[in-house]
């Protein structure tokens, strides 16, 4: 009986090849098959050998090239054929990457699966923007939420943002008006500082700033695109972070 392959759920980090883990880089460089998301930077895919088969299962808002159930079955089918498959995801596979669903499907099918963590989009983008998600003088709690999901209006975010807290919102560009309205309705000050990090940790990165009340106008005026993170909290207005960015802009 032929040996079954292994599914490697690999985090590609926020986009910069230098931010890959050694384990991730080695798996990509020796891969036979790579099934990748649309947010994986081309420079990372270029690390794969020329003989590797690259399969894109890119997801965009309201447009999925392949439903999640079919992706699960694709991975299982490749592994059952005897090949190892690298399932490459932006950021970390277990932070809004549906890695948990794919791991569960693999285990249920009796297929070996290994998780290779990556630098999450929040950690990578915030570091590139020099925004400390926690700070002794500003925040001792950080929360991650998805801004693009079913039943967003009904979710309880009360207490996730405010004094001494940082809220990081993934996939929130399209729902920025609803997010701002929701948080202000929960009692968060309209003047709470906000940063939007577009294409974090990539050469095209932009860091845009506003108040919570001004978030929707900022996103529209600056034509913010995905991938972008919204960071809400006093850490986004720290003088040290602002000074560094001002120096970089002057260079």
Question: Which residues, at least 6 apart from 161, have a Cβ–Cβ distance to it below 8 Å?
Answer: 143, 167, 183, 188, 192, 232, 233
Q: Compute the distance between CA of residue 9 and CA of residue 97 in angstroms, rounded to an integer.
A: 10
Place of tokens 């909290």: 233
Interior angle at CA 196, CA 162 and CA 67, nearest 5 = 105
Asked if 174 contacts 61 with a C-beta cutoff of 8 angstroms, the reply is: yes
Positions annotated as catalytic residues are 37, 59
104: helix, strand or coil: helix
Radius of gyration of the chain (CA): 19
Q: How long is the chain?
A: 251
Q: Give SS3 for 99.
A: helix
CA 107 to mean position of chain CA atoms? 24
């Amino acid at each position: 009986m032929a040996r079954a392959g292994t599914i490697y759920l690999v985090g590609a980090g926020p986009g910069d090849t230098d931010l890959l883990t050694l384990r991730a880089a080695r798996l990509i460089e020796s891969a036979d098959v790579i099934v990748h998301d649309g947010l994986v930077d081309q420079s990372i895919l270029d690390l794969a050998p020329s003989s590797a088969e690259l399969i894109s299962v890119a997801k965009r808002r309201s447009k999925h090239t392949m439903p999640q159930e079919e992706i699960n079955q694709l991975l299982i089918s490749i592994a059952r054929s005897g090949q190892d498959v690298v399932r490459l995801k932006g950021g970390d596979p277990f932070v809004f990457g549906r890695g948990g669903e794919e791991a569960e499907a693999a285990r249920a099918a009796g297929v070996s699966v290994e998780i290779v963590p990556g630098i999450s989009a929040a950690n990578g983008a915030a570091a590139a923007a020099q925004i400390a998600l926690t700070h002794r003088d500003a925040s001792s709690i950080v929360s991650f939420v998805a801004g693009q999901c079913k039943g967003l209006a009904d979710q309880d975010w009360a207490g996730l943002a405010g004094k001494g807290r940082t809220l990081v919102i993934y996939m929130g560009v399209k729902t920025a008006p609803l997010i701002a309205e929701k948080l202000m309705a929960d009692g968060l000050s309209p003047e709470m500082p906000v940063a939007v990090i577009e294409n974090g940790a990539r050469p095209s990165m932009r860091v845009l700033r506003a108040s919570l009340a001004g978030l929707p106008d900022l996103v529209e005026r600056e034509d913010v695109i995905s991938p972008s993170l919204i960071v809400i909290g006093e850490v986004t207005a720290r003088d040290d972070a602002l000074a560094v960015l001002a120096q970089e802009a002057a260079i």
